[in-house]
Structure 1
Amino acid sequence: MTQDNGPRDDENGTPDEPQDPMKEMLRGFLGDAVDSPEVDEMLRSLGMQGGVPGAAPGQTPGGVPGMPGAGEAGANPFAAMMAGNPAAFGALQAQVQAMFNADDSAVNPDLARDVARRVAVAGGDPSVGETAQRDADQVAQVASLWLDAATEFSALDGRARVVSRSEWVEATLPTWVQVLTPLAEGVNNAVAGSLEGRFGDDPETLESQLPPGMLPPGMDLSAVMGQMTPMLRKMSASMFSVQLGQAAGALSREVVSGTDVGLPLVEGEEVLMVPANVREFADGLEIDPAEVMLYLTVRESARQRLFAGAPWVRSQVIEAVRAYAADMRLDTDSIESKVASVDPTDPEAMQSALGDGLFHPEPSEAQRQALARLETWLALIEGWVDVVTDRATASTLPHAQALAETVRRRRATQGPAEKTFSGLVGLELRPRRMRDAANLFAAMEDRHGAAARDAVWDHPDIAPDAAALDDVLGYVEAWGRNEPGEATGTDFDAELEALLRDAQGQAEDSDGSSGSGESEGPGESGEDPGRT
């Protein structure tokens, strides 16, 4: 392009310094507000070359008269709002900084946390005072005593803590980020890839996709495109983070405790309760709210005892969720069509277009397998909690059975928050087969005692699986045959030692008959194969 259409200096007629491409793009949004020192400082802090050294405050060399958004701030309502409302500008600055200051990770935890907290407090988020905490301490002590008599797992080292909905977000969001990062990576790659494919490598392609007149004549589009790719990836990461925040915030308004959804969201041995949601749970039950709180605290304490006493359970569940998320198929055709239908310079329109429908309705075979593993683990955890809670409360709480039935009904119907979470993140939080799992643990206790019921968590190799839920009685009977102890009278250590002796003897016989000095079989090293 040979013609110089850039602005001229009024005094000497020479072209001004080269325009900053990213700032000129923002001019289409902000008008003259983009020329403020605050915007210069914000862009400089973001490493986006905002402003030019030596420019006067409120002035950016290279302003283009007649461009959309140029002229008086009143010509652009958004610019007028920014100019007259410092608080609004501060909010904009914070949101832009949150998006662009983030690292290259697939999820922006700060942005997700901010969105989740906003959703959590919408409509009210009662604070938790010292009185509620003292009551929770007493309730947790009673729950611990009852569980001591109901399970072999030891009491927790952590204390009970009552939290508000926004505090539940703070406590659980790190785990959400951990387990959903593989899914975020897939979403980000799909969205960013669609946008990059739409823009292409040709500057003219980019110009054709932008609103007419948004880019001033003479702008170096290659400079814009050089910054576009990382910006698009951060934008897609921000969109997923917003969705995660919306989903977690919605859940915070329904969960009654830290791990109420079945996932080990709370690290350590802390029992987390949400009194505001417990009160809503108790509404209409005609049961003393204190009894409801005690019952739900027993459930949460039992779940946390399991996670603390068998640490592998937490890691297995987390990895199952990550595997499920990693195998999630995205509806890339839908993403392509939605991305193509919106203005790429309008983040709100992009977020609205991608608000749901990202996930393919027909999962792949790999995803079905991952989902089956995840559902089995979650069902086993909740089934065990059902049985242990029943043993701990059946003779101590007058409405234990009624509360257990309420929990089952609540679990059977997906609430609004879970529907939101499923739609935005693609993860079903209420697995089927919990009743089968509860029947399995009840049968284990009836057949072999409470110690055996809890011993199934000693190692993942002996824990029940989906096949065990298909044949509960078969699993229970096989436990009696395959585990050492009084049920069979079999000394497995002696049996193993005899097998090893036989193998060693056969190897020695082979050495003597061949005379080759070489041996075959398990004893070829000349050492006891049972030793290392």
Structure 2
Amino acid sequence: MDTTASSANHSAPLPRLINWELAATTAARLTPAGPKLSGTQIRSAVENLRGLADVSVDHVHRITGLDAARDLRDSQVLVVDRAAWSKANARSFELMLQPALKALAEKRPDQLKSAATALGSAVTGTQMGAILSFLSSKVLGQYDPFSALLPGGPAGGRLLLVAPNIIALEQELNVEPADFRLWVCLHEQTHRVQFAAAPWLRAHMLEQISELSSSIAAKADSLGDRLQQALKVLASSAKAAASGQEPAAGEGAAGSLLELFRGPEEKAVFSHLTAVMSLLEGHANVVMDAVDASVVPTVKTIRQRFNARSKNRSALENWVRRLMGLDAKARQYTDGAKFVRAVVDRVGMEGFNRVWERAENLPTEQEIHQPELWISRMDYSRA
């Protein structure tokens, strides 16, 4: 009798803090479709992006020297629209939250149920949909290693190229489409190669996220309050969007939503994940910028116009980017690229590639800013 009850409780669905299906449909409803193209133009753009994504792998291999670039057949490349990107990310986000929810269900089931009841998954689903909507109109591409954990997901993960955003930006910048698309593919395919070169990296990142989950579970009594605060920040963002005003000083709304879920216990894990993301993004940018006119004939023009674009964002977009923590992501591109270039200058690309050998070789956040510390720790005199 007890065993049956236990089994029933174990198989019972977890309370939902966020309605992820609603989040995906809300994002699809709120997000404009993108540039107006005929069916023929769409098919041509999709075929062109697929071809350039394939071509870019050889360049990634030549620049990085990573043999993993020779065979990426266990992962997928998908050319998608904005709605499909939102749906894919809603599924991945739900997957990433499962460890935290399971830990909460085991340790504090009443707290989890109470938080879910108080918040309402429909409300949080709508709010998350608004976030996905904003992001889905900005991101050019994304490599998702965690999609391998989804039912039927490819073993090596999935690369998504968001065609409407790539086309919209190439039109905005007035650059050569084929050159710009190859330039973007070089960055995104580098991420795919990184995880192929370091097959342990996905599990390592999941382990770090599990540590965060355990920390969150230990403070389940504050989860509802923090989620409520997050909703208040989102509401403040919506008011700012409607009025065109900057947030008032001291409201806390000018900070990233992520800060609401970062306590003292999580700082070390956040620091490590920040360093890893800086490494991945910086390395991809270095590869992107290593091409010359023989590969991308108009690369100088693309770089200049792409970099200048960030200086012309509206006050509202800058505000939303701060809210989402996207400014921090932009700094990761810069900091990580400086780290990679400094290391390669000192020990060469082969020496840098030791970073992909094992988790212990990943740089710390301090080492990202002081590459000589990483070089010293690797002790190349013994290599």
Question: TM-score with structure 1 length normalisation?
Answer: 0.51
CA shift for structure 1 position 112: 2.4
Instruction: Find the aligned partners of 2:202 and 2:352 in 1 and give their Cα distance.
Output: 18
Aligned to 1:315: 203
CA shift for structure 1 position 361: 5.7
Where structure 2 has 5 or more consecutive residues not aligned to the other structure, the ranges are 1-12, 149-155, 217-221, 233-251
CA shift for structure 1 position 114: 2.1
Compute the RMSD of aligned alpha carbons: 4.4
Local SS of the residue matching 2:356: coil
CA contact (8 A) 1:324 1:374 kept: no
Q: Which amino acid aligns with 1:164?
A: D
Where structure 1 has 5 or more consecutive residues not aligned to the other structure, the ranges are 1-101, 195-228, 340-355, 485-532
Aligned to 1:169: 86
Pairing 1:247–2:115 present: no
CA contact (8 A) 1:125 1:164 kept: no
Map of 1:316-331 to 2, 5 A cutoff? 316-320=204-208, 323=211
Number of positions where the alignment pairs a residue of Structure 1 with one of Structure 2: 328
Aligned to 1:238: 122
CA contact (8 A) 1:256 1:278 kept: yes
Q: Which amino acid aligns with 1:137?
A: R
> Could you tell me which of 391, 408, 411 is aligned with 2:290?
391
Q: Which amino acid aligns with 1:332?
A: D
Aligned to 1:131: 44
Instruction: Find the aligned partners of 1:265 and 1:258 in 2 and give their Cα distance.
Output: 12
Instruction: Find the aligned partners of 1:460 and 1:400 in 2 and give their Cα distance.
Output: 34
Map of 1:133-532 to 2, 5 A cutoff? 133-151=46-64, 152=66, 153-155=68-70, 156-157=72-73, 158=75, 160-180=77-97, 233=117, 236-259=120-143, 264=145, 266-267=147-148, 268-320=156-208, 323=211, 332=225, 335=228, 363-393=262-292, 395-404=294-303, 420=320, 423=323, 430=329, 432-481=331-380, 483-484=382-383
CA shift for structure 1 position 460: 0.8
Q: Which amino acid aligns with 1:108?
A: N
Local SS of the residue matching 2:57: helix
Percent identity (aligned): 20
Q: Which amino acid aligns with 1:250?
A: F
Return closer, same or farther for 1:288/1:266 CA change in 2, 3 Å cut-off. Answer: farther
CA shift for structure 1 position 179: 2.6
Local SS of the residue matching 1:254: coil
Aligned to 2:239: none
Pairing 1:119–2:34 present: no
**Which structure would you say has the larger Rg?**
1
Q: Which has the higher contact order (CA 8 A, sep 6+)?
A: 2
Instruction: Find the aligned partners of 1:322 and 1:478 in 2 and give their Cα distance.
Output: 27
CA contact (8 A) 1:182 1:325 kept: yes
CA shift for structure 1 position 231: 11
1:283-316: CA deviation from partner (whole Å, max 9, x where unpaired): 3433212211110011111111112221332333
